Structure 1
């Protein structure tokens, strides 16, 4: 058995990251729903205590974790820091005296409590003093029912509503209008509207550098000259190359020195990071983090595969959300950028092995373990190595966001 995990972002009304929901399943052939909720929750506890730290997945944000009545009665939440988790009571748990007692105790201990996939019943009113968040599935709950819930919690202003399965900007706007405070889903990773957005001169310079560094033989002199004519870009290069990520013994003082020390692989990563960061400045920060995670995960898959250029895989992942960032079709975006043919084919036509990597990555993002298993088998990847590649990608993206935010 191997330990599988994924995370899904939860954003606030300003589209800032509020938290993640952590989704853990056990193994390729023993995927949810074939294991029960108790075992799934146990795996969370085991993993966070022995396999990895919650910080690896969450950074400084809280994580929503599912709990059954049995795991609540066994006091599993107390094994995790109250600052790091939201105790999410599964929709299969029926309201009763034992559950009410557990909620009272958790609230006294300072835990945040959420009701998952809430089905409105009057009996839940007894729980409202202890509940902080109510999660409502937009796809299965009518507007009339949502209004009933809002009326029921009117006397409990501390309770916030969280909309689940928000997949489009229109759904996000609808939930906003209905008074929801938090939103779970990948609406932010889709174009809000189809409109052309011109690239600035600085962004075109970065695109030029991306093209130059993608060549088999990199022209160091030409690349140095491009950097030297852009003071802001040069400063960012020097700051990045001197960051703690690289643990250099001596500080880097010149453009050429920075380019040599970084090398082609790291330089290409830096440029794609910077390009994505620049054009996504008015977008949710989680979109940038998601791009980074995809890039590093794709690179890791290429290394596991052994027959795919890891640099191209990295850039494919980084560019995969450009339609959402620029609010226009991916085909139009790719026409503007001088990228390798294989990258464009993967993103526009969804063909080739790089496209297969992207399909697997999307399965991970949605915690679709059955499809993940099929994709891993078809790609011939070592089944026990893929989760590690994902975990590494998540940690790396967290580090990069900190570095770029300094």
Structure 2
């Protein structure tokens, strides 16, 4: 993943050699306080050249920000501002994020909307606020027609392109008198504008005078839609945690994305989740269904899992079976993770240490993958020896673990058969 500054608010080209079908490109622009310290970031989807803003694109932006771009690198612990359509405010994707982390920027309705249509939106706003979300509106909220919306605002953004600076005082006074919202001056482009709005008591500022939007490029790995559909069907049938865990273990791309998503700052957990079973239990079936449905909409269509994914699955299963001979059950689970994530660098096209930065894993797993040390390292070495056809390396690795050729070969055959079952099921 690379973080680069851009002199323009949108990405016009993609990094050379990168397939735009697997690239999440998200722009962020800082929102600062009166001391010019970063308070939060507004996010924009720059994955495509299209400027269409829809409920689906809103969901994809939040999902990609949490799942693919690495929320820590993108926003850290800062507040995230995300533009929404009226339709996306009722979207199930909002159930997947921690409300303390996100401010939803709400548009006013199109000109010509009736008073009844304006009032009808209050139910949705109340529901979002009860769940802990903060809502931001533009200065159109200060129009008479939207008087009923005023108590809903946590932030009001004042666009300096839409009014003369001499009129700012009246807008600020009205907003202060009739709302409890904090004010954000946006599209600030000069020191004069900043000083004028700060003198009026505006708390936050956004614009090119402070920072152009940065672009975050994140190479993604996405499961086949057939596998995601299998997960969705399993959840709809109220499948057991063990059944769901088994499916996750068969697809490294699915499990990797789930662990990365659930451990993102936007999900709001106070502890790291390092096992598939724990992830399923934390999410629950309803949120797991939402996550899988969003993953389906943001994944490429068609295609079977690539050969490297099959190899990763075989590695994971083989390591699990070998570890079960010598280690406690919970350690055998971690051995599976070592094997299945040992090819993440190939799948992501980045060094393994960079790939592992975006997913929470136990330290012994990291030690085996990055340093070839610890309890799982000999199992990974033996697993790789099974693939290489190097008889000397195979014998040396098996002897180090005091495993016979028969034990290793039988486990390898079982792992291959287990991986082949996935192909048959799909």
TM-score w.r.t. the length of structure 1 is 0.43
Which is higher, the Rg of structure 1 or of structure 2? Answer: 2
TM-score of the two chains, using structure 2 as the length reference: 0.41
